[in-house]
Structure 1
Amino acid sequence: MNILLVSSDNNKTSGAFLCLVSLAKYLIEEFDYKVIVTVPKQGDGIELLQENNIPYYYVRSFSWITYNGYGIKAIAKTIFKKMAMLYNWRAIRQTSDIIERENIDIVHINTIFSYVGAVAAKLKHKKVVWHIRESLDKGFNSHIVNGKKGYELINQSDRVIAVSNTVLNEYKSFIHSQIFEVVYDGIDSKFYAPKHEILKKQPVVFACIGALVKDKNQLELLKSINKIKENGITNFKLLLIGDGVMETQLKSFVERNQLQNYVEFYGRRKDVDDILKQVDCLFSVSCAEAFGRTIIEGMLSGCLVIAADSPDSAACELIQSGKTGILYPLGDIGRLTEILRNICLHKNDQSLRNIAFEGQKEAMMKYSSLTNAEKIRDVYLHVCEDN
């Protein structure tokens, strides 16, 4: 089978791009599929494609997503996107040529941000699988430029895949239920660390991975860290892994509260799998998570994972609180502080190790890249059987 994977970015640290590379790799190696990737702009993601010998084309195109609201920034972006979508017809023609040249059977759109591949597939009468990995409204405060026509195009797909029930529920009023299903993302087995023992050394090492932006909510974690420090608990270190527009504000909070000896800013890293092998507890405190890639990375690594639970997050789908990880109510700094305090005081070390171990088993069984590729292959086979 010949698959065209259409990416909406070209960034080797992007979760969506990492999922695309992993899927392509397993489809080629495990199922002997021919897989071609298109990338829409210059970037470092192609390094991963080259490392894994995945063929690709550069097809310059623009997304159809703009900001919510009627502010100057939103209006300006909407005008730009409408103009850019005229340019996209060139990308549609290029993609159509690739479909024909490579004898593509299925065009797989990797995120809701890109639509060019779907139009090209329609012109060439090819099957379309469309992946939705993001919460546009809650996670990005954004929408499709022409939502009605956009969802009409998405609904012409042969299958639409949501990465969680949280995502499916957000879009179910726009996308036909008969073509819409959930397939959880898969995480590379390089994160699997079966010999990782937590809470054996001092200080206790915490980590939080993600862009330093408002919705990732790292400030909530820092406030809780500050509270335990004020109560005389100092046997910990927090690693903030990522960069973004909130970095200055977060660093200012750290300096203001004299947390420099306890919090380290690691920036964007390529060696997250190695870092997690030195971490006891991974925190995911986001306001909204369409899936929760870092949650599974932490679980696979053998870390104890503590995540914020909210209606807009898939964390509760991935974690059974008290069994495979720990959930706390988003915004409940008191509860988060209590969790941090108990960990640092080593009140329930063996119980917490057991939770981390069960989480690791669960992640390996349900959320490996191979499991994901097998389920996507099944989607392809069903699509090809449908007339």
Structure 2
Amino acid sequence: MRISTTILSLCAALAAAPAVAQQRFPSSAGDLAVETVASGLENPWGLAFLPDGRMLVTERPGRLRLIGADGKLSAPIAGVPNVAARGQGGLLDVVIDPGFAQNRTIYLSFSEPRAGGSGTSVARARLNERGTALEGTKVIFQQMPTVNSTMHFGSRLVFDRSGALFVTVGDRYSQREQAQSPANHIGKVMRISPQGGAPADNPKIQGWQPEIWSIGHRNVQGAALHPETGQLWTAEHGARGGDEVNTPKAGRNYGWPVITYGIDYSGAKIGEGTTKAGMEQPLFYWDPSIAPSGAAFYTGPVWPAWKNSLFVGALAGQMLVRLSTQGESVTGQERLLADLGQRIRDVRQGPDGFLYLLSDAADGKVLQVRPAR
């Protein structure tokens, strides 16, 4: 009861927070308002709500912040791993443990500096009671091999219903052919246990690294579980065209770079075409690209007509995309907030039923999307 009261108080404070500059945008469910909840974040990347309604937000240069109902940023939380904050690398996603209320455990993905380059890694740690430091920080997964590149790290973290953790990793740009090799962690969706290592029910395929769930991915930066089926859905960067929505399944090959609906940045053809036996087709793709990042299914009471819609942020596209779904099909697309002029890095549903976005900028913001008054 105490936690519920705290959540309600924080949600009420967020809902009542004065807009820095409220803007109205049309949608199929009525006009939307976008309000700034917090600002002054340097290239924020990942957002996670705590049980009491506060938010953890990562900044790509390597800072983790706690944000309360007043929108003020905490001092950087101590104990965050060192990151390789170059190019697309840095401190990336954050997710809380399903048992956070009891164990205060969180997980961070980041580009880890290593001899000879870097790689996507995942660390777990305990957030202390004051919310000022991480304790017992331990790396539980390292993408291998190390690559001398500052590009395509992935990386989203999503717990499935069994308590295993999905980790998306990129093809590191220079190593795209390796996305087809299950002997390494390049261009894959991984599934690990919360302590590290592979769960017993991962695919057991000869030649596959035990942490690998699926192969043939380019750079997955959006991931969410379907609220009814528990199936993982992902949003994946293509090259010029060919951004994809997939539902990665155990032991499947999603084609990159053998099949794709995009072309190279030079205009050259990539791979063999758009289809090949033994390789999965996307549920949906964008051409031209929108550069998808961040994804969340909507389950709240505020917009009942949008139940089970998948919301995806767009970086190059500078918009929020709503995909209506039916089972494992995308049945429609609605492009929202196109006049906002913001690169949307992450999308989350808040405990109040509103949507929360991270804008990717040197002065990045947490934005709340709600019905316009």
Given the two structures, how large is their TM-score scaled by the length of structure 2?
0.27
Q: Which structure carries more strand by proportion?
A: 2
Given the two structures, how large is their TM-score scaled by the length of structure 1?
0.27
Answer with 1 or 2: which has the greater Rg: 1
Q: Which structure carries more helix by proportion?
A: 1
